Amino acid sequence: GPEKYQVTGWLQVDEASKHHEGYYICVAHNKHGSDKQTGRIKIHEKKLNRVERKEDGDQL
């Protein structure tokens, strides 16, 4: 039958960059045992175009 539990989790990396790429392991322990899951993080950097807006009287 269906499981009576659901395994969920997340990893938050603020301002992620290429050096955060790699494999991460989440390990959980309790009185019933332990488990681990491995996940791979791949960073796709996106280059942004800088747009400047000229106001009347401004010089670029």
Q: What whole-number distance in Å separates Cα of residue 26 and Cα of residue 6?
A: 15
The confidence score (pLDDT) of residue 58 equals: 66
Tell me, what DSSP letter sits at residue 29? E
At position 55, the amino acid (one-letter code) is: E
Q: pTM score > 0.75 for this model?
A: no
The confidence score (pLDDT) of residue 59 equals: 63
Q: What whole-number distance in Å separates Cα of residue 52 and Cα of residue 58?
A: 11
pLDDT digits (tens, 9 = 90+) for 11-56: 888 888 999 999 999 999 999 999 999 999 999 877 777 777 777 7
Q: What whole-number distance in Å separates Cα of residue 48 and Cα of residue 53?
A: 16
